[in-house]
């Protein structure tokens, strides 16, 4: 299996709290050539690496919304993911996008799939959030790919910058095929279980599927010939395989 076709989902989230600088750095140290992470905007308009709308799952005891928490408040919240890791990674702080970008620049051959989450855009507005994100990613056109379920966000990015785009979708339908043909993203991204048995839609894009944590399944998907990348939670296991 070509390890360049493996993408670390939220970093190495099997061994470290997801979306943290540590999880991403350990994935890269293990040999990952691509990783994905999520971005939300907090109350201070800071872009941070975080998936959920609130902190309940990641902290275990704090259910405030991400967009209602300031940088100062956030610095006191531990996102050690207690349900999965107990106290093993306590304390772990939320990582700012600046930290992820600094790490990315140390690995100039690595690709980062940056998923901007809809909750922040619904709260702050698509244009406001996307303008801030594009400013942060300026100069990283060779490494960063903006991905999202939000078509408006991708449309904004396409008309205001030169970053590659990935359309994430949950319904393999003619409606999404039409969106793809209009948007012309560089990547089409979906859950592997919604793939058709026949070849996927052809176009000027590559196909990425999530979330694959079995070696045999990853190999079989890549052997189809129409799937280019697989995203995995267990990047270290996949790389060793």
Statement: the pTM of the whole predicted model exceeds 0.75? yes
C-alpha 39, offset from chain centre: 8
Q: Quick: pLDDT tens for 27-36.
A: 999 999 999 9
Tell me which H or E stretch contains 191. Answer: strand 187-191
3-state secondary structure of 54: strand
CA-CA distance, 174 to 137, in Å (whole number)? 32
Core vs surface per residue 30-46: b (16+ CB within 10 A) or e: bebbbbbbbbbbbbeeb
CA-CA distance, 191 to 24, in Å (whole number)? 22
DSSP-derived pairing of the beta strands 34-41 and 6-9: parallel
CA distances from 132 to 46, 65, 91, 157 (A): 9, 20, 29, 11
Is the distance from CB of 194 to CB of 201 less than 8 angstroms? no
Confidence at residue 62, expressed as pLDDT on a 0 to 100 scale: 87
- The architecture (CATH level 2) of 3-53+97-240 comes to Alpha-Beta Barrel (3.20)
Q: Quick: pLDDT tens for 40-52.
A: 999 999 999 999 9
| Spans of the chain, pLDDT less than 50 | none
Strand-pairing partners, residue 65, are 54
Angle in degrees, 0-180, between the axes of helices 151-160 and 126-136, rounded to the nearest 10: 50
Is the distance from CB of 134 to CB of 157 less than 8 angstroms? yes
Residues 6+ apart with CB under 8 A from 62: 54, 55, 56, 77
First to last CA, the chain: 8
* Mean pLDDT estimate for the chain: 97
Tokens of 1: 């299996």
Confidence at residue 1, expressed as pLDDT on a 0 to 100 scale: 84
Q: Quick: pLDDT tens for 100-132.
A: 999 999 999 999 999 999 999 999 999 999 999
């Amino acid at each position: 299996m070509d390890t360049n076709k493996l993408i670390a989902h939220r970093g190495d989230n099997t061994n470290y709290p997801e979306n943290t600088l540590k999880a991403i750095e350990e994935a890269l140290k293990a040999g990952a050539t691509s990783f994905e992470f999520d971005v939300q905007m907090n109350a201070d308009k800071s872009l941070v690496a975080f998936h959920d709308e609130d902190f309940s799952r990641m902290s275990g005891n704090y259910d405030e919304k991400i967009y209602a928490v300031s940088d100062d408040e956030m610095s006191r919240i531990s996102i050690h993911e207690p349900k999965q890791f107990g106290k093993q990674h306590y304390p772990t702080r939320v990582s700012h996008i600046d930290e992820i970008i600094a790490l990315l620049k140390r690995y100039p051959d690595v690709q980062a799939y940056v998923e901007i989450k809809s909750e922040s855009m619904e709260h702050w507005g698509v244009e406001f959030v996307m303008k801030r994100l594009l400013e942060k990613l300026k100069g990283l056109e060779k490494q960063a790919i903006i991905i999202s379920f939000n078509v408006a966000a991708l449309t904004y990015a396409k008309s205001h910058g030169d970053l590659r785009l990935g359309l994430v979708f949950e319904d393999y339908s003619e409606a999404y095929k039409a969106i793809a043909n209009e948007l012309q993203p560089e990547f089409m991204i979906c859950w592997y279980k919604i793939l058709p048995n026949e070849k996927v839609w052809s176009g000027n894009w590559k196909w990425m599927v999530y979330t694959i944590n079995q070696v045999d399944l990853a190999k079989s998907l890549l052997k189809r010939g129409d799937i280019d990348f697989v995203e995995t939670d267990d990047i270290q296991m996949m790389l060793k395989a």
